[in-house]
Chain A
Amino acid sequence: MILRYSCAMLLAVGLFTQSNVKPTAQPSAQNLLVSGTVVDALTSQPLSQAQVFLTAQGVRDSEQFVMTGEDGRFRFKNLSPGHYVLFGNHKGYIQQVYKQHAQFSTAIIVGPDLDTEHLRFDLRPTASISGQVLDERNEPVRNAQAILFHQTIRFGRHTTWREREVNTDDRGRYRLGYLLPGVYFVAVSAQPWYAQRRTHQHIQLTDSSGQTTYQEITNGEPELDVVYPVTFFSHAENLAEAVPITLHAGDAEVADFSLQPVPALHVLIHSATSSEPENVWAQVSQTLSNGSKMGVQTNTQQIAPGLFEISGLPPGKLRLGLVSSKDGESNTRWNNIQLAGDTDINTSDAAPSSSVSGVMKFDDNAKRTSPMSLRLSSGAANEEYLMQADERGEFSLKGSVPPGTYDLLVGQPPAGAIRALSATGAKVSGHTLEIAAGQDVKLSVVLSRGTGKISGVALKGGKPMDGVMVVLVPEDPERNLELFRRDQSDSDGSFNLPAVHPGKYTAVAIENGWELDWFTPGVIQKYLPGGKLVQVSADSTQTVDVPVQP
């Protein structure tokens, strides 16, 4: 089953008061049981004093609680048939729903002929990474940001995902607790607290003959005009050279940092329109990992008409957005630079932005029930732009999209999938757009609604199997991420795939599928022959039993 809330939310409000789900349990109590043992996933030792919660899905006030005894056992009595959610919590362990894998878990299906009395509820000990950040004087760096990256599977692909950040305290210490086992990276971003930016000034000199020259004056001390480049553990400049930290359940790893300042770099921006009153400032970012970029703190200052100085830049690969505003109109130009020293840039060398606008509609012409949005996503440039459609389905992004190749995605995937895309001003191939510098783009998008349903049972050797990953694979899978559907089989082996768009699919069930990067080209293909073909039409409900593959 698919969980509607994150784990923390489940604890807060979701689990116990899910009232808008159709009730599945019969009101009359019968003498059915849910029982089992909570164990440490690593050692298989029973866990006493674990909190176990059971909720009949969609039944108000059905939440029950027990604490496990010395033998780790829990037991809920007098239950009616229905779908139940089992949730476990123990100090020092990751709180989770039964057999939880991210947003998926196994619901306990209670019924007269179903065995729900021998459950093994694995809880994994939490792990942590902590450390201290020191500066070049071996003094603690306060308020440094420790950034945690997790090597994991997202949207069916291996990615190194930026998970969260914490700040160091007055001792320069940070702690990233409550971590799942896995592979992590840690980076530290900080500014030297004493940093003072050098500034340059151009003084205009006019001699008696009316000849004008400029004299450059520098203010500030070079030894204080420094930055700390983002540092990956340990002493690496980027993720590729970083040392991975592998956490096993219960591990407490230490990652200390020693930051070394480097001279801050300066970039001079020569504006094309030097005579007019113009204000320029820079929006600078740097890429930390795929899907994660970070803003760089900089100052922009005008030092002469048409000449602006960006200071406080670290060396390395940076993306500069040069925002110039004149008469209340602002315009952003883009420049990707590899900085090794101070440098000059002409705004005319930077690529102007495009406006992207258009209209979206559903292929069934029915009225939308909720507001829709589209995303323009560029993996290469690490940019993403959200376009919110109004009541008429119209959307517009004014003058801010850099040139590049973008994938058009639906903001809320189950609500709609892109069926057709056409554009003026950009080259289109499938759901991919190529936007040229300064070229405004008009899109016409047709969406389909997923109204089909597939349910069934995952069978291994003819017997229902729980905890299995069920994937509904569309035709041409590499171009149709939005059409994939996934579920985890419940305790009776059953699964449900809602909001399926019309089309041809193959349903596959994979026993140890939770580590599979199913959207990586070629990965899911080898499972297709062992799957079941399904043809889905609008508003249809189908039942398919799917054999479980190893």
Chain B
Amino acid sequence: MFDRMLPALLLLVVPNTLFANLQFQAAPRTYDARGTVVNSVTGEAVSGALVQLYGARQRAMLTGPDGKFQFEGLPNGSFQVSVQKPGYFSPEQIRRNGAPLKLVNTEEERPVTLKLIPEGIVYGRITGDNGEPLGYMPVQILWERVENGKRTRENSRNVRTDEQGEFRQAELQPGKYFVFVGPSSWPASFPARLSQGGARGYPGVFYPGAPDLSSAASVEITPGKHAEINLSLSSQPFYRISGTVSGYGPEQGVTMQMVSASGQPIGAGVQFDEARGTFRSSWVPAGACTVTAESQDPKTNQQSYASQRLNITSDLGSVHLALLPSAVIPVNIRLETTRNEPQVDTTSYFFSSGGRNQMRTPQYSPARVVLKPQQHLFMQQQEFSQSVTDEDPTPAIRNVPPGLYSVEVNPSGPPYVQSARSGSVDLLEQSLTVAPGGSNQPIEIVLRDDFATLEGSLAFGPGSESATIIVISANSPNAVPQRNVVLTNTVHSFQIPQLAPGEYKILAVDNPDELEYGNPDVVRKYVTKARDVSLTPNQKAKIELEVVHIGD
């Protein structure tokens, strides 16, 4: 009994008198929290679900056969509760970004109903030319959704068909999916002489048999839906690529890979002959692809990289890849301080994002710079980042393969990014082109601390339960709008600290998960309802906003 009333204290010195009080006090009245867990689709009770209640002490229990739970011995008040069970999503998992947990009030003694949303499943069978099951075929399930205001496609775990050609992917949230199958990593039939053409294999296709995403059919997954996807594939000619690689040292190995236009590794490998500098791929389907070669000097750790885009319509010989050292991009950060806050000496102290003062140590980094490569459909490519610290006299992002990158600067603490440039390229608006092999121009970043603060009040319309404030920069139209404070309709004011001075459009919406606010065409519909704000350095501005309802 009594241990349940003690708050979760860890290594705290409790005065003896207080403890004695707790011990000898007459037990105060306790309350219960109870409720039922139900399947959001069928309304049926869900047994064996884990319900957790967050109080001074965290409590947990499994629901009984009737889906009911009851926590006893609680003080009066409101407690957050969550529920989970394999095969289901909780409402918080489905509504991202700040959906609040359900509250249960013990004083009211009213049971709560907690909903679990059943998962979606995609399963099926892949067959070949003669109806035979195709085993070991890669199957990718793409989830198209809006995240952070942008339409994105997220790749589920890669699965492969089993010996019976069957695949299965569970744990799908409700939404729109695309199914991509193949290509087979190995041909289905071979020519009499393997060095000559004539091998056939199965190409990669989108359900229901489309060569690309634009002509593919989506699969709508509603809660609890089990979608059967069967595909019958037709074999096509497969081809081999061979050629040479140059630019690697005597003790250096070379790793080679074939990647499809959508970023999927294809084929069963590339054989590289170190002594001769020659390579030959295994069989791959026709179409656009990239062959890459990577090497690392074991002594200096300097990486080299080469890639060649190919459009394969026949066997290709004499493809040449010349390895060039990967780029080293110096990063220079200048912090312009204007504030003389009491107790804050910007040379030795800095305030952290939590608002507290933080000692400025040699490890202190004013910003982290991230290079994000162009996204492929199927491959999360490596990002390159560097925290610029006082310890590193020549901060640089190293071993970056050539390509097109978007640059993200994440300041630690309140300063905002005033500018980020590479030569004449404004990196806040444009992509960075990393050239092969060459030395690259430094990334020059200016941070300032003369940020402005925006305060305001909100007017909720009927049916709007919560609001999210979206900040659209009017100075840099290509910058992705930022979503900011999330509020429920019981709160009517907001504050956005640390905004860079400039022109903004501020919009409050009630359903940001559905709004592709990173897309200017989508935002245009609502932008008339946004408020224009001009912020000067160190200004504290005030506005009034109406919460815009995002329609179905």
Binding site for B on A (CB under 8 A): 11-13, 16-17, 19-20, 51, 53, 60-67, 91, 126, 128, 137, 139, 142, 169-170, 175, 177-178, 193-194, 196, 201-208, 215, 217-221, 224, 302-305
Q: Are B8's CB and A219's CB within 8 A?
A: yes
Q: Determine chain B's interface SS by DSSP, over half rule.
A: loop
Q: Are B9's CB and A201's CB within 8 A?
A: yes
Q: Are B171's CB and A170's CB within 8 A?
A: yes
Q: Are A224's CB and B60's CB within 8 A?
A: yes
What 14 additional pairs, Cβ within 8 angstroms, besides A13-B270, A63-B193, A64-B193? Answer: A20-B273, A51-B190, A61-B194, A65-B190, A65-B193, A193-B85, A201-B9, A203-B11, A204-B14, A205-B13, A205-B16, A205-B19, A224-B61, A224-B62
Q: Are A170's CB and B87's CB within 8 A?
A: yes
Closest to B57 in A: A219
Pick the interface stretch among B162-170, B334-342, B356-364, B522-530. B162-170
Nearest CB on A from B407, distance (A)? 35
Interface range for B: 35 or more
Nearest CB on B from A285, distance (A)? 27
Nearest CB on B from A50, distance (A)? 13
Query: Given the interface contacts A170-B168, A177-B163, A208-B16, does A203 sit within 8 Å of B191 by beta carbon?
Result: no
CB-contact partner of B14 in A66, A91, A169, A203, under 8 A? A203
Query: Given the interface contacts A13-B271, A61-B195, A64-B194, does A194 sit within 8 Å of B11 by beta carbon?
Result: no
Closest to B186 in A: A11
The tally of CB-CB contacts under 8 A between chains A and B is 116
Assembly CA distance A60 to B168 (angstroms): 41
B275 part of interface (Cβ distance < 8 Å): yes
Nearest CB on B from A64, distance (A)? 6
Assembly CA distance A208 to B8 (angstroms): 24
Q: Are A170's CB and B170's CB within 8 A?
A: yes
B50 part of interface (Cβ distance < 8 Å): yes
Q: Which B residues, 3 to 45, have Cβ-Cβ distances below 8 Å to chain A?
A: 3, 6, 8-16, 19
In the bound complex, residues from chain A placing their C-beta under 8 Å from that of B191 are: 65
Q: Are B16's CB and A207's CB within 8 A?
A: yes
Mask of B259-282 contacts with A, CB within 8 angstroms, 1/0: 000000000111101011000101
B212 part of interface (Cβ distance < 8 Å): no
B478 part of interface (Cβ distance < 8 Å): no
Q: Are A11's CB and B59's CB within 8 A?
A: no
Nearest CB on B from A518, distance (A)? 34
Q: Are A178's CB and B163's CB within 8 A?
A: yes
Assembly CA distance A178 to B162 (angstroms): 10
Q: Are A175's CB and B11's CB within 8 A?
A: no
Q: Are A177's CB and B162's CB within 8 A?
A: yes
B75 part of interface (Cβ distance < 8 Å): no
Q: Are A64's CB and B192's CB within 8 A?
A: yes
Q: Are B3's CB and A11's CB within 8 A?
A: no
CB-contact partner of A217 in B3, B192, B193, B194, under 8 A? B3
Query: Given the interface contacts A65-B194, A177-B163, does A13 sit within 8 Å of B275 by beta carbon?
Result: no
B132 part of interface (Cβ distance < 8 Å): yes
Identify which of A12, A17, A305 gathers the most chain B CB atoms within 10 Å of its CB: A17
Assembly CA distance A53 to B195 (angstroms): 12
Q: Are B268's CB and A11's CB within 8 A?
A: yes
Nearest CB on B from A430, distance (A)? 35
Nearest CB on A from B94, distance (A)? 18
CB-contact partner of B60 in A61, A196, A205, A303, under 8 A? A196
Nearest CB on B from A538, distance (A)? 26
Query: Given the interface contacts A65-B194, A194-B62, A206-B13, does A91 sit within 8 Å of B132 by beta carbon?
Result: yes
Closest to B62 in A: A194
Assembly CA distance A201 to B282 (angstroms): 60
Nearest CB on A from B21, distance (A)? 13
Nearest CB on A from B376, distance (A)? 23
Assembly CA distance A137 to B46 (angstroms): 13
In the bound complex, residues from chain B placing their C-beta under 8 Å from that of A65 are: 190-194
In the bound complex, residues from chain A placing their C-beta under 8 Å from that of B119 are: 170
In the bound complex, residues from chain A placing their C-beta under 8 Å from that of B86 are: 139, 142, 170, 193
Closest to A15 in B: B194
Assembly CA distance A87 to B410 (angstroms): 56
B420 part of interface (Cβ distance < 8 Å): no
A-B contact pairs, 15 of them (CB 8 A): A12-B186, A12-B268, A17-B271, A19-B276, A20-B275, A61-B195, A64-B194, A65-B194, A169-B168, A170-B119, A175-B162, A202-B11, A203-B14, A205-B16, A217-B6
Q: Which B residues, 49 to 98, have Cβ-Cβ distances below 8 Å to chain A?
A: 50, 57-62, 85-87
Closest to B171 in A: A170
In the bound complex, residues from chain B placing their C-beta under 8 Å from that of A64 are: 192-194
Question: 3 tightest A-B contacts by CB?
Answer: A170-B170, A61-B195, A63-B194
Nearest CB on B from A459, distance (A)? 36
Assembly CA distance A53 to B193 (angstroms): 10
Assembly CA distance A411 to B271 (angstroms): 25
Q: Are B13's CB and A66's CB within 8 A?
A: no
B48 part of interface (Cβ distance < 8 Å): yes
Assembly CA distance A12 to B282 (angstroms): 7
Assembly CA distance A137 to B6 (angstroms): 33
Nearest CB on A from B430, distance (A)? 42
Closest to A170 in B: B170
Query: Given the interface contacts A13-B271, A64-B193, A217-B3, does A204 sit within 8 Å of B48 by beta carbon?
Result: no
Q: Are B60's CB and A169's CB within 8 A?
A: no
Q: Are A221's CB and B59's CB within 8 A?
A: yes
Closest to A301 in B: B10
Identify which of B11, B168, B275, B282 gathers the most chain A CB atoms within 10 Å of its CB: B11
Q: Which B residues, 205 to 262, have Cβ-Cβ distances below 8 Å to chain A?
A: none
In the bound complex, residues from chain B placing their C-beta under 8 Å from that of A170 are: 86-87, 119, 121, 168, 170-171
Query: Given the interface contacts A12-B269, A65-B192, A137-B48, does A203 sit within 8 Å of B12 by beta carbon?
Result: yes
In the bound complex, residues from chain B placing their C-beta under 8 Å from that of A61 are: 193-195
